[in-house]
Amino acid sequence: MTETTTVATGPATAPHRRAAVRFRRSDLPAWIAGTVLLVAVVVALAAPLLAPYEPAAADIRSRLTPPFWMDGGGWDHPLGTDSIGRDLLSRVLYGLRSSLFIGFAAVVIGGLIGVTAAIVSGYYEGRALSFLFGRLADVQQAIPFVVLALGVSAAIGASYRNLILILGVGSWVYYYRLVRSDVLPLREEPFILAQRTIGSSTPRILGRHVLPNVMPSILVTVTLFVSTTIMYAAALSFLGLGVQPPAAELGLMVSEGRGYIETAWWLSVMPGIALAIVVLAMNTLGDWLRDRFDPTRRSADRA
């Protein structure tokens, strides 16, 4: 009896151990991405403490100083200086702060508008309010987002605040489409019908039962769209329709250094590397969250 138990237990535990190892390995990129993002956020918040100089402080005598590992560089300016002698490390830190704030602020604005419209429109499918939201979304999606952002930015003026509003209000339709598709089947679920039967109010149903069930989609969409928003902000700033000088923003810094790319490549490369790392980490984390919240993928993994 004892031998039979031993033989049966041995093979049964091996697959579980292998599955656990496989699970940890599959999560490794997400852990790395999450750590990178956490470090980026901490560094951005602590930019006033970490930056060795004020981001707009210029010293024309040290203009175009190379990074410390190149001839002529030094630890006074570890990443070098720009065309008017501003410390590049300080500007990258503040630029990272600006880019992350723009990305998160715009996503909050767009998410609040889009998710609210999606839940209301999906729950009241077939009514006038749902029809109105749907037509507004159709009209906006008929215009490419970049073209719309460029046109509105040129019309109302380029500024830090306007950039956040343009990206936030202009992105509501993406949350609306994705979340609404999850709300529609929920309307006929037994637990929703039961709440209607017992007389629960509509706000209670939407807030206590519908919203929690679409939260995974919201979380994945927000995570993926933060990186997209940061890229849009960088593109608009690069074209001169976003953050304006002398403020530090990664896309603006890439634009300011493009005229010196052959003689002072670090002016564009350093902020470009910071931008690429943040966007790649955000996309990696978003892909991992999407895989974890997708029931079809979870079933395939268990199989």
CATH of the domain at 138: 1.10.3720.10
In the predicted structure, residue 17 carries a pLDDT above the cut 50 = no
Is residue 112 very low, low, confident or very high in pLDDT (cuts 50, 70, 90)?
very high
Q: What is the pLDDT of residue 94?
A: 95
Total domain count, the chain = 1
Is residue 75 very low, low, confident or very high in pLDDT (cuts 50, 70, 90)?
very high
Structural domain contains residue 157? yes
Q: What is the pLDDT of residue 295?
A: 53
Structural domain contains residue 216? yes
Question: 87 versus 211: which is more confidently predicted?
Answer: 87
Is residue 192 very low, low, confident or very high in pLDDT (cuts 50, 70, 90)?
confident
Structural domain contains residue 65? no
Question: 47 versus 302: which is more confidently predicted?
Answer: 47
Is residue 217 very low, low, confident or very high in pLDDT (cuts 50, 70, 90)?
confident
pLDDT digits (tens, 9 = 90+) for 146-169: 888 888 888 888 788 888 999 998
Q: Would you give the distance in Å from CA 210 to the centre of its chain?
A: 24
In the predicted structure, residue 298 carries a pLDDT above the cut 60 = no
Range with top average pLDDT, 5-9, 44-48, 215-219: 44-48
Q: How many CA atoms lie less than 13 Å away from 166 in the CB half-sphere?
A: 27
In the predicted structure, residue 90 carries a pLDDT above the cut 60 = yes
Question: 21 versus 235: which is more confidently predicted?
Answer: 235
Residue 273 is part of which domain span?
Answer: 80-302
Is residue 5 very low, low, confident or very high in pLDDT (cuts 50, 70, 90)?
very low
Is 251 in contact with 275 (CB distance < 8 Å)? yes
- Residue 292 tokens read as 């974890």
Structural domain contains residue 292? yes
In the predicted structure, residue 35 carries a pLDDT above the cut 80 = yes
- Closest among 61, 79, 62 to 70, alpha carbons compared: 79
Is 253 in contact with 95 (CB distance < 8 Å)? yes
By CB atoms closer than 10 A (0-12, 13-18, 19+), residue 169 is: middle
Structural domain contains residue 3? no
Question: 297 versus 76: which is more confidently predicted?
Answer: 76
In the predicted structure, residue 198 carries a pLDDT above the cut 90 = no
Cis, peptide link before residue 246, omega less than 30° from 0 = yes
* pTM of the shown model: 0.82
Cα–Cα distance, 246 to 113 (Å, whole number)? 32
Cα–Cα distance, 53 to 65 (Å, whole number)? 15
User: What is the number of other CB atoms lying within 10 angstroms of the CB of residue 80?
Assistant: 24
Structural domain contains residue 21? no
Structural domain contains residue 43? no
Mean of the per-residue pLDDT values for the chain? Answer: 84
Q: What is the pLDDT of residue 301?
A: 47
Q: What is the pLDDT of residue 159?
A: 84
Structural domain contains residue 72? no
